[in-house]
Every structure is written in C-alpha cells, then in structure tokens.
Amino acid sequence: MTIFLFLIVNIIIHELSHLYFCLKFKCKINSICIGFGKPIFKFTFKQIPVYITPILIGGYVSVKGEEKYKPGKHAICNLRLSQKIIIGIAGCMSNIILGLIMIWTIYILTNNYNILLLGYLSLFLGIMNLLPIPSLDGGFITWYLLFIKILGKKRGIKIYNVISKVCFSLLIVISVISIIYLCLK
C-alpha cells in the first residue's frame, strides 16, 4: 500500500512539474488529470479543471494546441522547440531529483530500506518516462516533434496518435500487472 500511495504522490509531483512550465511559458491549460478512465472526482484550481480518475497509474496535463498541433493564442505549438522540450522533460526530472534526494540523503540519514526502495521507484519512473515511446514524455519529445518535422503536421499527428494509442494500451497492461505483482509481494 505504501508503494501505491508513493506512486500517486510521484504522479502528482510529475504532472505539477509539467503544469509549472506550461504556465511559465504562458500556455493555456485545458485540464489536468491524475489517472486514466472516467473521472470520479472533479474540481477547479485557478480556473483549470482537475480530474481524478479510478486508474491511478499515470496522468496528464492537457495543453491548448497539443492534440491537433493547432496554432493559436497561448498554444503549446507556438513555443520554441527548447520550451517544448523543457515542458516534456520537467516531470521526468522531478521524479529523478526526488529519487536521488531519497536515495542520497534520506536513506543515508535513516538507513531505512523502504525509503531506498521508494527512491529507486521514483528514479525508475523518471528514467522510464524519458524513453522515446509514444504516450510517455520521451515519446512527446522525440516522436511527436520528429513526426511533425518529417511528415508534416497533418500526417505526422495522425501517425503519432495511432502509435501512441497502441503503446499506451500496452503500458497500461504492463503497469497494472506490475502493481498487482508488487502489492502481492
């Protein structure tokens, strides 16, 4: 249960990191979602809809201009490439930094094996999310921008969305199996 709660906290920190840089670069936020599936809890934070869903193994920040790569006032596609990359890696870096803090300081001070395990989990989540797989942050950074550059906006986004849905479905299955396995240990 501790691992699952820590995973949720990690997801929230991860998504808040994306949110911070989106707001810093003046993007319009459509919504924030923690988990996947139909929302079971909704509230508004600073005029941004926030959704909590039953499958708490991920999340996202929906940004104007992201899905169809449509330019407009405060759209993410108007940003410089470096700003898009910063937004893309922000969540991963927060997980990696949290993991390193837990491993290098808290574990060393407390010698608590559970802290070490949670630190490695955070580190693993951050590094895994950097992989160039559609639906992950690394996928956004590489595939999405690459497809748009090579194939053009319309075809690039269409191909990215198909590949992303397939990879996302596989990631959900792997995540659920992993969580069940960890909880049974």
Task: Give the predicted TM-score (pTM) of the model.
Answer: 0.79
Encode pLDDT of 55-83 as tens digits.
887 899 999 877 666 667 787 778 888 89
Sheet containing 29-36, strands listed edge to edge, beginning at the edge strand earlier in sequence? 41-45, 48-52, 29-36, 55-63
d(CA 120, CA 104): 11
d(CA 140, CA 92): 12
Angle, vertex CA 69, rays to CA 48 and CA 166, nearest 5: 90
d(CA 42, CA 49): 7
Residue with token string 């803090």: 101
Encode pLDDT of 132-179 as tens digits.
777 788 887 777 677 777 887 778 777 877 887 888 788 778 878 877
Element (H, E) at 70: none
